[in-house]
Amino acid sequence: MEYLLKDQNQISSLRCGTSNRTTSLMSIGTMYETSRLTMLRFYIATKQKELDDTSETSEVILVSAHSGNEINTAELQVEYVMGDFDGVQRSLDMSVDSITFGPLYSVEEDTDDTLIYEGFSTPPSPAHPEEVITITIHHANTLHDMITAFSDAEILNKALNVRRKLPDNKEEAGSGSGVLRDVLSCFWHEFYDRCTLGTTVKVPFIRHDFPAETWKAIGRILLKGYQDCQYLPNKLALPFLEQVLFNSVYSDLKAHFLQFVSSQEREVLMEAMTDFSAVDSDDLVEVLDGYGCRRKITAETLPTIIDEISHKELVQKPMFVIDCWREITHPHLSLSPEALTKLFSDLQPTTKKVCKLLKFDINLTPKQKEVGNHLKRFIRELDEGKLQKFLRFCTGSDLIVTDSIYVEFEEMTEFTRRPIGHTWEDSAHS
């Protein structure tokens, strides 16, 4: 028999046999490089096969290392399985025993992550590589990197593969649509902070360092996010987006303007609209003067003044941005005003909606049902900000863009010393 061992903690291949046959397994190093994980669990399978009198008998040896940094042949467990080794090699999908290869630590020490084996598969190559575009986004510079990447109009015609650099300049291990959703969420949050005005609802403002091409790139991000992930930044004022998509405003300008102003200004304006004689005239004049009011303020003129100011702030001021975005979205995005309003409502997370997204296995133990009830109660007690963070942790998006969140229970063993959250997958597992 012959053992071929690689380094201290990895077994790169195993060759054995009593006859002249020699079989090699896939390189462990290749698996590590492909999966980019720090620890893998491998399963060696055997398949029982009837032998006739003329068949040769081979020995299949299962090897596992117990402890220590050096592999000692005296510490190897060896099991002899009578059968055709070639048959075993072809039937790796039928697992019998599990063996973990990887760095070994003492009892007191622990690894940063304990990963549960969920199947190993080499990522398939795209059928048409020229139709896929890969962009790299730095976590600390998402706004700039996304605008740069979407400055190319051809990006709308290609499948998007996003890779992200973490603050320590290491590439994030995640992949798939979850990463794209998280990057979109990060981009729009940064866009709200740096390129918009408003409190509850936002409207872009003109920046001297943002020419038309920059605003068009942001329009492509808006369009691509909706096409690929059904993500639409619903903190943008609805009248603003209606003007972009329909060249007209269908929603209540006044109601959205009251969400645009600060809470103190909202209180003064609502009091004035309810009872003009009760409002402090100085406060009202100060609020309206801040928005450039040029008319005499009376109980009769106040509703018209607020309508005019609402249109100016939500539509007229960002008209340059509206024109740039309309040029991008008009040929590709078709929604009715009613559908847009419903989409805004559907995207907004609430505790009731998120609880309905949770999907459990139908055969739960009493303890698992109890844990599921605790999870739902935890969600119901979250405020809006924390609810969005929870949703983003599970799906990558702070908006509801998935149909369900599957909750699975894992039994804790010596290899799983802490709970692990599997998130950002296409089916939104957590």
* Alpha helix segments (H runs only) across 201-275: 212-229, 238-246, 253-260, 263-274
- 177-195 and 212-229 helices, crossing angle to 10°: 140
Q: Give the pLDDT of residue 420.
A: 56
Q: What is the mean pLDDT of the chain?
A: 76
Mean pLDDT of 70-79: 38
Torsion sign (Cα): 356, 189, 378, 112: positive
Q: Give the pLDDT of residue 358.
A: 92
Residue 375 is which amino acid? Answer: L
Q: Give the pLDDT of residue 284.
A: 93
Q: What is the DSSP string of 14-50?
A: EE--SSS----PPPHHHHHHHHT-S-EEEEE------
pLDDT in tens, 384-407: 999 999 998 888 899 998 888 988
Mean pLDDT of 232-236: 93
Cα–Cα nearest to 429, from 412, 405, 410: 405
Around Cβ 181, how many Cβ atoms within 10 Å? 26
pLDDT in tens, 351-369: 999 999 999 988 889 999 9
- To the question of pTM greater than 0.75 for the whole model, the response is no
pLDDT in tens, 162-213: 888 888 888 877 667 788 899 999 999 999 999 999 999 999 999 999 999 9
> How far from 164 is each of 134, 135, 141, 160, 168, CA to CA, in Å?
10, 8, 10, 13, 11
> How far from 425 is each of 75, 139, 222, 368, 405, CA to CA, in Å?
39, 19, 22, 23, 10
Which residues, 6 or more positions from 141, have their beta carbon under 8 angstroms from its beta carbon?
Answer: none
d(CA 388, CA 37): 29
Phi, psi of 94, rounded to the nearest 5 degrees: -100, 95
Three-class secondary structure of residue 13 per DSSP: strand
pLDDT in tens, 250-266: 999 999 999 999 999 99
Q: For residues 252-284, b (16+ Cβ closer than 10 Å) or e, as one string?
A: ebeebbbebbeeebbebbeebeeeeeebeeebb
Residue 245: pLDDT above 90? yes
Which pair of tokens denotes residue 215?
A: 């605003």
Residue 124: pLDDT above 50? no
Which pair of tokens denotes residue 386?
A: 């924390």
pLDDT in tens, 84-116: 434 444 333 333 333 333 333 333 444 444 343
Around Cβ 45, how many Cβ atoms within 10 Å? 17
